[in-house]
Amino acid sequence: MNSNPFRVAGFLFSGISAGIKKDGRKDLGLIYSETPAHVAGLFTTNKVKAAPVLISMERVKGGFCQAILVNSGNANACTGPRGMKDGYRVSSLLSKELGIKSDHILLSSTGVIGIPLPTEKIAKRIPELVRGLSPDRWGDVVEAIMTTDTRPKMEWGSCRIRGEKVKLCGMAKGAGMIRPNLATMLSFLVTDAHIESLFLQKILKEVVDLTYNRITIDGETSTNDTVLILANGRANHPVLNRMDKEAQIFKSMLLEVCQTLAHHIVRDGEGVTKVIEISIQGAKNDEEAKKAAYGIAHSPLVKTAFFGEDANWGRILSALGHSDISLHQDRIDIFFDEIPIVKNGVGTGPKLEERASNVLKKKAFKLTVHLHQGRGNFSLLTTDLSLDYVKINASYRS
């Protein structure tokens, strides 16, 4: 995997196999900043949170971070007091090896829930992990965070802020349990921009709401979702701490990188054969448009119809009808791409339905619903629900 475009001044990376996964693939990764970096983070909204999430949520409040230790193959979730103890232990061991404060180390895990973290395996490999740190091993960390992912997910961008070149690199994992407010989705971003932590948190939240929080595969929300960004200030421009022209340039770059990563996640969803943009227009307000979009996106009947390439508009109307929004069924229009399949709540006939079914044969298409209730709009990305999705999740622990 070519890591050359993913060099960021002052950051080193390492990824190895610690034997957590049964198949010997890389499962332990480290992102390290040579100097303390400003940090911002967002985490799962699931009330059941994994130990590494709880630890990292507390440490992010300090505003600075120097390392992210991540493992795959074990979520360290629902493991009780032992899970917290194990998390503190591995971060303490890593802090001694790196010579940094333990509360400057953030933790992240993904994998099977309910199994104790194999701390002895991790402890034995921490020295090797640290020795392997290099500006050229970004790709090893990307591999180390993958679970049911079939391909690596990474993106980078650059811009100029007050005359200084600024670099941003991002990675993500996630193939199942993806829905808004993050879900078995990890994303780590590093930049040499100089941005104050509180302001960075504000920008990250706004960007995530427009990207990672607008994708859904199976409607499940994980115990381990984490998005972290580290900014070490090596670009040496004046600090960004308010929304001005220069900060907007950085935010636009971050938005573009996260949008690309979000699209990668959806395209690599478990068993996915179709990627669908659902656009709700003319709802009473934006919040109702959002409810309508997720009502459709989370309907197993709609998603299986997508998989079967069946333009079954009745299922879409049914999903809208129980999405708890204001609507008049005789005002609803539905389109697959540009093909009108429903007009004023009634099907447009077999010829147009056949054309719509041809749209569903594509790997990516757009479903537009106009409610004619007001000015509310919302769009998201989702997928079909296939036989392979069931097979993958039926055998996940085996």
Active site residues: 184
Token pair listed for 233: 């200030």
- List % helix, strand, coil for the chain (3-state, nearest 5): 35, 30, 35
- 267 near 275, Cβ under 8 Å? yes
Q: Cα dist. 46→74, 140, 203 in Å?
A: 18, 29, 22
Helix axis angle for 245-267 and 197-210, nearest 10°, is: 40
Going by the DSSP 8-state scheme, the letter that residue 331 receives in this structure is: G
CA distance linking residue 88 with residue 82, whole number of Å: 10
Q: Where are the alpha helices (DSSP H) in 68-196?
A: 80-98, 119-131, 138-144
Exposed, middle or buried by CB within 10 Å (0-12, 13-18, 19+), for 98?
buried
